[in-house]
Amino acid sequence: MILNKALLLGALALTTVMSPCGGE
């Protein structure tokens, strides 16, 4: 579903912004 994809992308972008290393 598009909504699921958007949510996944949002979570990934948030993680990248929160972690300067780009994730653990």
d(Cα 19, Cα 9) in Å, to the nearest integer? 15
Judge whether 16 and 23 are in contact, CB under 8 Å.
yes
DSSP class per residue in 1-20: -HHHHHHHHHHHHHHHHH-T
Structure confidence by residue, pLDDT tens digits, 1-24:
789 999 999 999 888 887 766 555
Judge whether 23 and 17 are in contact, CB under 8 Å.
no
Q: What is this structure's pTM? A: 0.52
Q: What is the pLDDT at residue 7?
A: 95
Q: What is the DSSP letter of 23?
A: -
